[in-house]
Amino acid sequence: MAKQVGFIGLGRMGEPMALRLVAAGYELVVHDARPEGVAALTAKGARAAGSPAEVAAAVDTVLLSLPTPPIVRDIAAKVGTGKVKTVIDLSTTGATAAREIAAALAAKGITAVDSPVSGGVAGAVAGTLAVMVAGPRALCKDLEPMLAVFGKVFFIGERPGMGQTMKLANNLLSATAMAATSEAIVFGVKSGLDPAVMCDVINAGSGRNTASMDKVPRQVITRKFSQGFATGLMYKDVRLCLEEAEASGVPMPVSTAVRAMWARANDELGGDSDMTAIIQLLERGAGVVVKGK
């Protein structure tokens, strides 16, 4: 019989990750605040639970994929009952929250594994995510076959929060690439350049980055704006990174400017907008639209 595990949080990232576990032969007990998320999993054979506590009563391992630190804290407290022995957090919470959650769970005899992921919705669907794991080495080794269903597993360290630090550093670079590339492309278009040609040249040269290689050609020039990661979540990740850096005594002047840009995008475009829509702020200011010819 396949191992039974719990999965809470079936949103843009959680649903495809949970579906991959089902496809890999795991028996899932799932819960989400949205009925449609649960329905997608039960249609594939997962069992629905009416609450986080009901998940905790059924399994000894629970995975969380949730949008914000307060929600992770709340759900982690609710699954800290029943037969659960291990809670794997796939969310992005920041190291401070991860350490606090781990301590609260440890007081109940539960081990927390800090395991954020990167690679977007497409990576979650394809199973090509970067999985950053922090926790007891032996336990992480035991969990690796399951986590490898999501993508490539990297053991970051044994201390709670180390995976979160790695994830925030990664997302800071992703956010910076999108903001800076948007500025460069809008500048070029305003000067009469073809944005597609710009991307081709940048990607053949030293300016190549994730935005120039993927986001601008696929989402901006086509005007789809459907990368699948929300502006509000990107702003949250950048804000968390700078808060953690400040607490650690690390100055980040460039990242401070990036945070201001994402704060403006969050305010003007809305937190639910696609993160690639940040270029629209620059388009409005320059009086141009970045699109294919």
| Count of C-beta atoms within a 10 Å radius of residue 142 | 11
Q: What is the pTM of this model?
A: 0.92
CB 183 within 8 A of CB 282: yes
Q: Does residue 5 sit in helix, strand or coil?
A: strand
CB 286 within 8 A of CB 190: yes
Q: Is 167 a catalytic residue?
A: yes
Q: Please state, in angstroms and rounded to a whole number, the distance separating the CA atoms of residues 236 and 72.
A: 14
How much is the pLDDT for 2? Answer: 52
Q: Does residue 226 sit in helix, strand or coil?
A: coil
Provide CB contacts within 8 A for 129, sequence distance 6+: 17, 117, 118, 119, 123, 150, 151, 152
Strand partners, 82: none
Q: Does residue 157 sit in helix, strand or coil?
A: strand
Provide CB contacts within 8 A for 155, sequence distance 6+: 133, 134, 137, 140
The number of C-alpha atoms within 13 Å of 190 and in the hemisphere containing its C-beta is: 13
How much is the pLDDT for 80? Answer: 75
Two tokens at 37? 């998320």
Identity of the residue numbered 280: Q
The number of C-alpha atoms within 13 Å of 119 and in the hemisphere containing its C-beta is: 21
How much is the pLDDT for 3? Answer: 87
Only one residue has tokens 């180390």, namely: 162
How much is the pLDDT for 164? Answer: 96
Could you tell me where the DSSP H helices lie in the chain?
A: 14-23, 35-42, 52-58, 69-79, 95-106, 120-126, 137-147, 162-190, 195-204, 210, 231-248, 253-269, 279-286
From the list 3, 141, 167, 224, the catalytic residue is 167
Two tokens at 177? 């690439």
CB 169 within 8 A of CB 269: no
From first to last of its 293 residues, the chain has per-residue pLDDT tens of 358 999 999 999 999 999 999 999 999 999 999 888 899 999 999 999 999 999 999 999 999 999 999 999 999 999 877 899 999 999 999 999 999 999 999 999 999 999 999 998 999 999 999 999 999 999 999 999 999 999 999 999 999 999 999 999 999 999 999 999 999 999 999 999 999 999 999 999 999 999 999 999 999 999 999 998 999 999 999 999 999 999 999 999 999 999 999 999 999 999 999 999 999 999 999 999 999 87
Q: Which of 100, 38, 41 is nearest to 80 (CA)?
A: 100
Max CA pair span of the chain = 63
Q: What is the DSSP letter of 11?
A: S
Q: Please state, in angstroms and rounded to a whole number, the distance separating the CA atoms of residues 226 and 59.
A: 35
Domains, in order of start, for the chain: 4-159 (3.40.50.720), 165-286 (1.10.1040.10)
